[in-house]
């Protein structure tokens, strides 16, 4: 059983780029009455770290950031920090409008988080000037390093990412858009105009499905939602990428990740709801998703169980 790396004072960027394992985005556990269940949440985080996660991203997309009160958010971040005990870094989500994003950032810092994932502003379609001001204010609000999440209504030109990379406190960009041409031009622009390292993450849903392409751009970090319920499969895929074992990567893509992705596409919100169902199938009752998300159908849960079984069979065949 892996128990994580020793406590370290190394900068967050150095800890995230160590080739240890996938980035873990835990679901948020709810009890029968819909309240946050911190005991189950702690168990979920603990299991992920012991399985080999390289970092814990608490209360982000898979963790239903949108559904949590500020108090619940801080309780979950603090619980994740306590459960990891410094073995791996803990990053927390921060979002909505600028004032609330700053509040969440400060709550995360108070709870002991090592960094922030700054999600798109709520609702508005802002121009780049306004977006840059938003993220600069979030970065200035705490001493925590910030990763900006590009997706939906927060999409940047390469020039804007150069400006983000020049902003004190902003250390990386997580891409949830999937435009590889734009990503290549962005990586090139930052590389040539901003000295030092800047982190890039593949943040697409079921990122393993596109990670071979992102690896070609030099983007080696990616979020792994399936790590929540099949860490052994996620670790095998991560190991295959790290060692250049493309045959294993292709086998898992064809037999597990593609069927899972196709099932995920059967319902809105399944990028979260199906993952939570997977955690329950593996024996940890993390409860249902909160509205406005909805639960997968019984047939889809049955199909998910079959996909998981097939994934395990692929691992056995490789032994």
Q: How many secondary structure helices (H) and strands (E) does the chain include? A: 13, 8
214 is catalytic: no
Of 30, 41, 104, 174, which is the active-site residue? 174
- Residue 54 has which token pair? 């390289």
Paired residues of 23 in beta bridges? 55, 223
Of 30, 149, 200, 257, which is the active-site residue? 149
Q: Is 317 helix (H, G, I), strand (E, B) or coil?
A: helix
Handedness of CA 18, 22, 24, 25 (dihedral sign): positive
Alpha helices in 112-194 (DSSP H): 128-141, 158-165, 180-193
Cβ atoms of residues 99 and 64 within 8 Å: no
Burial tier of 155 (Cβ tally within 10 Å: 0-12, 13-18, 19+): middle
Cβ atoms of residues 198 and 168 within 8 Å: no
How many degrees, rounded to 5, is the angle at CA 240 between CA 239 and CA 246?
170
Neighbours of 306 (CB within 10 A): 11
Which backbone phi and psi does 175 adopt, to 5 degrees?
A: -100, 115
- Residue 114 has which token pair? 């090592």
Cβ atoms of residues 147 and 174 within 8 Å: yes
149 is catalytic: yes
- Residue 30 has which token pair? 């709810």
> Which active-site residues does the annotation give?
149, 174
């Amino acid at each position: 059983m892996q128990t994580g790396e020793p406590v370290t004072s190394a900068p967050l960027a150095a800890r995230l780029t160590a080739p240890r394992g996938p980035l873990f985005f835990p679901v948020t556990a709810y009890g029968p009455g819909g309240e946050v269940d911190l005991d189950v949440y702690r168990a979920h985080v603990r299991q992920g770290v012991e399985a080999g996660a390289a970092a814990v991203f608490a209360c982000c997309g898979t963790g239903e950031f949108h559904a949590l009160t500020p108090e619940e958010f801080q309780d979950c971040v603090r619980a994740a920090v306590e459960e990891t005990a410094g073995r791996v870094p803990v990053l927390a989500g921060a979002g909505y409008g600028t004032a609330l994003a700053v509040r969440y950032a400060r709550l995360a810092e108070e709870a002991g988080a090592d960094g922030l994932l700054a999600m798109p502003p709520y609702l508005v379609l802002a121009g780049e000037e306004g977006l840059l001001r938003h993220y600069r204010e979030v970065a200035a609000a705490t001493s925590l390093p910030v990763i900006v999440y590009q997706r939906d209504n927060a999409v940047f030109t390469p020039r804007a990412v150069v400006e983000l990379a020049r902003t004190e406190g902003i250390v990386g960009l997580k891409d949830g858009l999937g435009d590889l041409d734009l990503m290549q031009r962005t990586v090139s622009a930052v590389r040539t105009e901003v000295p030092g390292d800047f982190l890039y993450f593949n943040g697409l849903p079921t990122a393993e499905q596109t990670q071979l392409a992102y690896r070609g751009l030099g983007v080696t970090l990616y979020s792994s939602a399936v790590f929540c319920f099949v860490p052994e499969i996620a670790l095998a895929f991560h190991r295959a990428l790290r060692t250049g074992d493309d045959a294993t990567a292709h086998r898992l893509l064809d037999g597990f990740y593609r069927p899972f992705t196709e099932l995920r596409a059967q319902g809105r919100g399944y990028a979260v709801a199906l993952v939570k169902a997977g955690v329950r199938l593996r024996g940890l009752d993390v409860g249902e998703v909160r509205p406005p998300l909805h639960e997968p159908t019984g047939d889809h849960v049955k199909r998910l169980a079959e996909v998981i079984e097939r994934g395990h069979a692929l691992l056995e065949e490789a032994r």
